[in-house]
Chains A and B, each alone.
Chain A
């Protein structure tokens, strides 16, 4: 069965500093991978997705993620964090047979001044 691990429950980053959120997945075949962001009291918004091709994926709001098959990872990065990036971030994997998403438990990002 598919699973997603986000090892960091909380991360605090200073505004302007770089960010990396970790995501590891377990899936037998080539996975479809996603990062979603959830602002307080809001629904989920898709940041980026990986299906195939270039392993470095660009998303919205200046985010990018890199798929590393050898490490079963799909880490999310941003070179310079803004205070508005404070939110909860979810990594998810989709099985190739159907559109069922399996989510990680999320990482809450706090941005300090």
Chain B
């Protein structure tokens, strides 16, 4: 049981390039989330999904897109990378809509846009 895995661990992009951050969970969780963490700040929710085929915007969705074709995978797409997207990105998952359920976090992807 690997939990939540993210690839890549590190990436450097040039302005205007695109990339997909991968996130996979093997816990059969319905809910999945993408956060970004900027220096000295807490985590901000980018997008979330309540199940396959269903996604919604979080607090800071601009410049990102997501899809959820399977329960396991929740990729985050950056179409036109900008320096403001330099951040550490965390994927998380949780079992159901019950508020007692814990969110499990992946190890993060550190992205630099130059």
Contact = CB atoms under 8 A, between A and B. Distances in A.
Interface of A: 4, 9, 32, 34, 36, 41-46, 49, 51, 90, 92, 94, 96, 98-106
Interface in B81-114: 90, 92, 94, 97, 99-103, 105-108
Given A44-B90, A100-B58, A105 B102 contact: no
B41 interface: yes
6 contacts: A32-B99, A42-B108, A43-B107, A99-B101, A104-B42, A106-B40
Contacts, number: 56
B97 A43 contact: no
Contact of A99 (B4, B44, B99): B99
Interface of B: 4, 31, 40-45, 48, 58, 90, 92, 94, 97, 99-103, 105-108
Interface of B is mostly: loop
A96 B99 contact: yes
B106 A90 contact: no
B114 to A, nearest CB: 21
B43 A90 contact: yes
Given A101-B45, A103-B43, A106-B41, 20 more contacts: A4-B42, A9-B40, A32-B99, A34-B102, A41-B107, A43-B90, A44-B105, A45-B105, A51-B99, A90-B42, A90-B43, A99-B94, A99-B97, A100-B45, A100-B58, A101-B43, A101-B103, A103-B42, A105-B40, A105-B42
Contacts of A92: 42
Nearest to A44: B105
B11 to A, nearest CB: 15
A43 B94 contact: no
B97 A98 contact: yes
A42 B94 CA distance: 19
